[in-house]
Amino acid sequence: MTPAAASSSTAAALAAATLTGDELTPRQAERRQRILRASTALAARGGYEAVQMREVAEGADVALGTLYRYFPSKVHLLVAVMLEQLGRLHEQVRRRPPTAEDPAARVAETLTQAFHALGREPRLAEAMVRALSFADRSVSREVDEVSSLTSAIVLAAARLGEEPTAAQQAALRVIGHTWYAALLAWLSGRASPAEVRADLHTAARLLTLD
């Protein structure tokens, strides 16, 4: 077996052995939360490169082997951090929905607010987006969850009032893609905050097109 094949096999085995949220006892859930907090703190201070598994384990007060049972790699770990951040945004939208009159404006308002929040923690945002960009097949379940949660946030903000039409569902997907592409462009210095906001408003208007 080649080194690359061995590495792939090891990653697959680790992923298969990873503890998922549905399997956690209260104690394990608390330990997982400590790991996420430690990872978030490291990423917020130094970005993607600052998140080293050994330092995460030390910060969370868990053994390195235990950390790998929860998250087989740094990418798995940071995608989980992104899921946690998106979950908070989803809950916020549900508790305090945007107030604009039309669905497009509500979506644009929500995503713009989320962009401003990420702008206050640019290194954390960079770490999460880089992890999402580096994700391979071993992280496909978590990446699908990111996509689903992003769509849920957009749908909650839109408050269409009924089952979205096929055209609206397509628009929701495009809005989600635009959000991540615009965020990546901003993080890499290829787009200004004003350009990101303009792109989000343009994509959101797809909801009102026939």
- pLDDT tens track for 93-146: 989 888 888 888 899 989 988 888 888 999 999 999 999 989 999 999 999 999
Q: What pLDDT does 11 receive?
A: 38
11-20, 24-33, 195-204: least confidently modelled range: 11-20
Q: What pLDDT does 117 receive?
A: 87
Q: What pLDDT does 19 receive?
A: 53
Q: How far is CA 39 from each of CA 53, 124, 130, 131, 132, rounded to the nearest angstrom?
A: 9, 9, 14, 12, 15
pLDDT at 92 over 50: yes
CB 76 within 8 A of CB 15: yes
Q: What pLDDT does 164 receive?
A: 76
Q: What is the CATH number of domain 3-208?
A: 1.10.357.10
- pLDDT tens track for 140-149: 999 999 988 9
Domain extents for the chain?
3-208
Predicted TM-score of the model (pTM): 0.82
**Most confident stretch, 11-15, 52-56, 153-157:** 52-56
Percentage of the chain lying above the pLDDT 90 cut: 50
CB 157 within 8 A of CB 204: no
Please give the Cα distance from 45 to 48 (Å, whole number): 10
CB 124 within 8 A of CB 69: no
